[in-house]
Amino acid sequence: MEATQRLRMTTQRQVILDELCKLKSHPTAGELCQIVRRRLPRISLGTVYRNLEILSRVGVIQKLDVAGLEMRFDGTVDNHYHLRCLECGRVFDLDMPPMDGLERTASQHSGFEVMGHRLEFVGRCPDCRRHQVAMA
């Protein structure tokens, strides 16, 4: 059974999911709340956050939780990699196919039953790099 069929999709929840899936920016709950308010002006940040947690828990979206940083959310649940800018904090999808055999290799080296993986590369995005060059 598909995750959205197991989950009661309220109007608020559906709008939150729809708006998140339109984005490639991996927004915070606050950023997404501002976007959702264009369609649902009275929705609260708490409602958006609670629904993002529920959608994440059932596997409809991904929660990108990096220690010390504000949580971000991703409407793409397929296995894919991310790039995070250490200067501006934005998160981007890396348009690169997942590495075949990575989970099997990790399992062989660790003894874990590996059920999935997330991979994030960190560095400076092109905008921040250009800004640094312009400031020099």
pLDDT digits (tens, 9 = 90+) for 94-104: 989 888 899 99
The enclosing domain of 17 has a CATH number of 1.10.10.10
Same structural domain, 51 and 97: no
Domain endpoint, select from 29, 53, 75: 75
pTM for the full predicted model: 0.79
Tokens found for residue 125: 């995005």
Residue 75 contacts residue 23 (beta carbons within 8 Å): yes
pLDDT of 106 strictly over 70: yes
Helices (H), the chain: 3-6, 11-22, 29-36, 45-57, 102-110, 126-135
Judge whether residue 44 has pLDDT over 70: yes
| Percentage of the residues of the chain whose pLDDT score is greater than 70 | 96
If one counts the domains in the chain, the total is: 2
